[in-house]
Structure 1
């Protein structure tokens, strides 16, 4: 009876450990149970009464883990039983081994059968494991975003880290870099000397600029990025420790924010495509159908006034269908090749061809591609500005200027229209453009063009205005 209680305790402990690791199966628990059971039964000479329990561990391993673990558990049980008998040999050693072997054989056979029967379940669990992990991560991110007390915008979070680092160290400013999957470093709050700041990371500490330090943003298993601080009057061990504490506090949040940016961008792109499909297959087709009905009314009516009204209605339907098609085009336009200039040129040229607007392009994009989210947000601002020119300005010409070196950018959309292309304060267009500008750390200005018309400017904070400069890059006119 005491041995039965001990075996029950071993079974309960093994079951609890298996349950606690059900999402990440661990084979060692099954092996440990096999060793404990074989040692207890053989050492206490209770194999004649309880030797059937030797089959439990291989069977459980077959159900839970598969063929390999079943074989390993059976082998370990047999070796443990043999070792226990060898340590304490008696006249009945062969008898005790003979009592254990049949049950080990039964356990092996049933375990292999159970392994084959449960293989599909384990394969399905293995296939679902990455999705379960992703779901768990997204649930946590959603909780953080919904709580509202932890920011998940990488740009604003980098600005917060810059402020906290300057307060902790007395530095003039700092630049935050995050490590990309290809081992390159991407600045989140770059300036004119971002290249020099990046070089501070690569050179030895003894060769760095006086008053500069590089603070790693440490993750659980790797360095997530670096915070380069400059302008500190005198670095002390206490200041360095304070800077590391600030970096450690922001590191996980910043890593989560960068991941959330990528997930949000992918989700937004998919949702835009879904809306575009529904607009094209749904409301656009129905409005086209209404146009056919209006055409039929105009053709069969004998009343002049009815025909005039039908003609006016047909013209309005045509205009509405055109607007819907432009909206679908806006939704589907993406920065597909990593370069903003080509996507912007395609969009502006399409608008010019469809409206008769003469479009002048001056696009200069050098250096590494802009971060995908930044490029996408800039494209959306350009779409809104170009859309306002198309719908409201009554312009003959539109100038689109882009100047980017991969870190700083300048975007301008100008027209020679009547000067009312600026979105009205109570409409969503202006607010949306400003929100997009803020998310990439840029400034948005909407002013009147001296020769008539409107100028929409989007600039990174360190880029000086250069109204009228279009000599660099490539110049092209369509119309």
Structure 2
């Protein structure tokens, strides 16, 4: 027993090490640790001249390989065990190679046979695990993203994180302000917290240190393999090595969080767009078709009835069905209409033109959009607010004219939707349009105001906090459509 115990301890250590390696590389295609265990076990067992050597353990590596990894790995493990045993016997000229080979061969054969049988039996389980592996990894990732996105202290809102980074950078350096830029896939820069001088600050990134504006510094947001963005700090009286180290520490703390938030913004936008398109398809293929079918029934009733009152009621019902179908088509158009290339003005023009042609409203456009595009989220929310406001005019205002004004310089925005209708716009019970517009405005840090128009009607205004009166811009002119 005293001779066997050290061997068993060595074999147990080899098995434990192989198990740990198995766990750490379970998602990889290579299984070198199984081969390494077989070679080590064979050397230990064959190299021991004691008659108490546990030769039967030679069957274990092929069996385990068959269960875990399949046919090819089982054959490789058995072949290398046999070659290792032969080489070990060859290096011991004083030993009886034939006797040792006769003792080892049956166990290697048993291990091979059982391993092949196990590989065949466990093939379906391995195939299922291989098919589910990508989904399991995706599930784990989505669970982590959901946890972060719903966290009260560490969310995944890029605008909030950019503001938090700006505050932290200002406290760390004493700077007046900072702007956070992220590098887009096409290598362009996009500001997450733009200000009035965003274009000038973007140029600071390209300048060497000696040519930058006094008191300005560019702090890279570094990822594991590349620069994810930059934080441009201005208004620091004197940059020192200590300030630079402190600023880089703050940037490193936020870099991966901010990059993840930007990626999550893209995922959320894609998911939202897909869901809107799905709802639009369901509306078109479901309720819209059912209502159209009801219209055919009403037409049939009107055509076969001899009662004037019945025909009159059927005609009124047919008009109401036509109105409902038109509203559904508008809703589908709203759901599918998106911002193209980040430019809100072109999307607003297309939408207003479609509403004018369909409803008979005279639409007057004044669009001035210059500078860098608004962030995708802000642009989308501005479009949705405009859609809701225009929809309210079309459905409830009984107006003849609609004025749509939009101005943006890439850092601030102003949207006005005016009509000459009945006025008295306000929230109504079980109608959530105004509340939804306010929520959208708050989501992008803008302010929504609704009030009477001076010459009658209603004005809906959306303004960012940084909105100022501007002159010039890229005017798209006016558009009039007479119904």
Answer yes or no: same fold by TM over 0.5.
Answer: yes
**Residue 255 of structure 2, aligned match among 239, 251, 256:** 251
Check whether the contact 1:18–1:29 (CA below 8 A) recurs between aligned residues.
yes
Residue 481 (structure 2) aligns with: 478
Q: How far apart, CA to CA, are the structure 2 residues paired with 1:183 and 1:359?
A: 39
Residue 328 (structure 2) aligns with: 324
Whether 1:60 and 2:67 are equivalent positions in the alignment is: no
Offset of residue 436 of structure 1: 2.1
Residue 360 (structure 1) aligns with: 364
Check whether the contact 2:369–2:474 (CA below 8 A) recurs between aligned residues.
no
Residue 209 (structure 1) aligns with: 213
Larger mean Cα displacement after TM superposition, 124-133 or 163-172:
124-133
Residue 186 (structure 1) aligns with: 190
**Residue 262 of structure 1, aligned match among 259, 262, 266:** 266
Offset of residue 332 of structure 1: 1.9
Larger mean Cα displacement after TM superposition, 185-194 or 1-10:
1-10
Residue 418 (structure 1) aligns with: 421
Residue 346 (structure 1) aligns with: 350
Change (3 A) 1:362 1:131: farther
Q: How far apart, CA to CA, are the structure 2 residues paired with 1:159 and 1:421?
A: 38
TM score, norm. by length of structure 2:
0.82
Larger mean Cα displacement after TM superposition, 469-478 or 33-42:
469-478
**Residue 238 of structure 2, aligned match among 234, 238, 245:** 234
Check whether the contact 1:219–1:251 (CA below 8 A) recurs between aligned residues.
yes
Change (3 A) 1:102 1:343: farther
**Residue 166 of structure 1, aligned match among 152, 164, 170:** 170
TM score, norm. by length of structure 1:
0.83
Q: How far apart, CA to CA, are the structure 2 residues paired with 1:217 and 1:68?
A: 46
Q: Deviations over 1:222-241 (max 9, x none)?
A: 43322222112333444344
Q: How far apart, CA to CA, are the structure 1 residues paired with 2:222 and 2:440?
A: 30
Q: How far apart, CA to CA, are the structure 2 residues paired with 1:62 and 1:323?
A: 64
Residue 37 (structure 2) aligns with: 33
Residue 7 (structure 1) aligns with: 11
Offset of residue 136 of structure 1: 1.0
Q: How far apart, CA to CA, are the structure 1 residues paired with 2:197 and 2:124?
A: 58
Change (3 A) 1:122 1:306: same
Q: Deviations over 1:45-68 (max 9, x none)?
A: 369964453343345335434566
Residue 384 (structure 1) aligns with: 388
SS at match of 2:179: strand
Change (3 A) 1:476 1:12: same
SS at match of 2:480: strand
**Residue 201 of structure 2, aligned match among 197, 201, 226:** 197
Check whether the contact 1:18–1:26 (CA below 8 A) recurs between aligned residues.
no
Residue 464 (structure 1) aligns with: 468
Larger mean Cα displacement after TM superposition, 22-31 or 262-271:
22-31
SS at match of 2:322: helix
SS at match of 2:42: helix
Kindly report the root-mean-square deviation, in angstroms, between the aligned alpha carbons of the 2 structures: 3.7
**Residue 408 of structure 1, aligned match among 408, 411, 416:** 411
In the alignment of these two chains, the number of paired residues is 477
Pairing 1:57-136 to 2, within 5 Å after superposition: 57-65=61-69, 69=73, 73-74=77-78, 76-77=80-81, 80-81=84-85, 84-85=88-89, 88-93=92-97, 95-96=99-100, 100=104, 122=126, 125-136=129-140
Check whether the contact 1:178–1:185 (CA below 8 A) recurs between aligned residues.
yes
Residue 437 (structure 2) aligns with: 433
Pairing 1:147-158 to 2, within 5 Å after superposition: 147-158=151-162
SS at match of 1:136: helix
Check whether the contact 1:48–1:99 (CA below 8 A) recurs between aligned residues.
no
Q: Deviations over 1:266-322 (max 9, x none)?
A: 222222222222323333333334444444555555655555444434333332232
Offset of residue 387 of structure 1: 1.0
